[in-house]
Amino acid sequence: MTKLLSAQEVERFRRDGYLFPYRAISEAKAADSLRQLADYEATLGHEAQNHVRFKFHLVFNWALEIARNETILDAVEDLIGPDILLFAGSIWTKNAHDPRFVAWHQDSAYFGLDPHDEVTAWVAISDSRSDNGCLRYLPQSHHGADMTHIEKKGDNNLLVFGQRIEGIADERGIDAELAPGEFTLHHERTAHSSRPNVSDRRRVGLSLFYIPAHVRSTGARRSALLVRGKDKYGHWDPDPLPRYDLDPITFEHMKKCLGGYLHG
């Protein structure tokens, strides 16, 4: 008995490696989140994604609320079972007329997880359409082993290592267009990308990386947040929860985890 997805949708996820669109929060709530992000960025003088990354949901309560959203968790439970940890969450912003893009990649090549049972929910905080650089999927690319990634920095690729899979014909990608507050789901091996923003509108999304509790980290011991069910395995240390936005304790933790990801 599934909670949100139909048996056909679960089957489609297994076949194609992604599903969309589903609604997580109202458009008004998404607009409020966008405003809170913009307010913070106004005090910073630059984009939050430059330094609040990997555990974004531990720094802002609006993001934590989305990370624990019951509808998202119902959908994730239908795909990976009832005991769910969130090990990372990132904000992705592209401004109006922004040449930055995300190259084709598979998260599985970088996440260091075993087995590869991670599912990502990508939540649109603004609208996310073809013209402002929505997420794109390569159907059925999650079957088989990881593809070869090369790392090349110095262009407008938003991925931290400049990673990319070369040779994918871009037109084979499917645009995952979303209204504010809607989300997509994809398997960690599904190749995905996004194009530059050629519109007058900013595009903002929050990606949330969920694993079933049996998944291990293949590298050093790491931390994660239990968002549903029980963790009877103890493969992950518990993440601290923010007492308020920009809580120095969780901010430091986020920085440490980001450093571990970048250097580990």
Interacting residue ranges for ligand AKG, rule: CB under 6 A: 92, 102, 107, 120, 122, 135, 192, 194, 205, 207
Residue 81 backbone phi and psi in degrees, to 5 = 95, 175
Q: How far is the CB of 254 from ligand AKG (least distance, A)?
A: 17
Q: If you ran DSSP here, which 8-state letter would residue 239 be given?
A: P
**H or E stretch including 111?**
helix 108-111
Q: In angstroms, how far apart are the furthest CA atoms of the chain?
A: 48
Q: How far is the CB of 202 from ligand AKG (least distance, A)?
A: 12
Nearest-angstrom CA–CA distance, 54 and 90: 5
| Residue with smaller CB distance to ligand AKG, 122 or 236 | 122
Q: How far is the CB of 262 from ligand AKG (least distance, A)?
A: 15
**Token digits for 196?**
């530059």
Q: How far is the CB of 234 from ligand AKG (least distance, A)?
A: 27
| Residue with smaller CB distance to ligand AKG, 190 or 217 | 190
Q: How far is the CB of 258 from ligand AKG (least distance, A)?
A: 15
Q: Which residue's structure tokens are 């929050």?
A: 206
Q: How far is the CB of 255 from ligand AKG (least distance, A)?
A: 20
| Residue with smaller CB distance to ligand AKG, 92 or 236 | 92
Please, how many CA atoms are within 13 Å of residue 263, restricted to the half-sphere of its CB? 6
| Residue with smaller CB distance to ligand AKG, 53 or 192 | 192
| Residue with smaller CB distance to ligand AKG, 69 or 207 | 207
Nearest-angstrom CA–CA distance, 115 and 10: 19
**Token digits for 31?**
């607009």
Nearest-5° angle of CA 159, CA 113, CA 68?
Answer: 75
| Residue with smaller CB distance to ligand AKG, 75 or 135 | 135
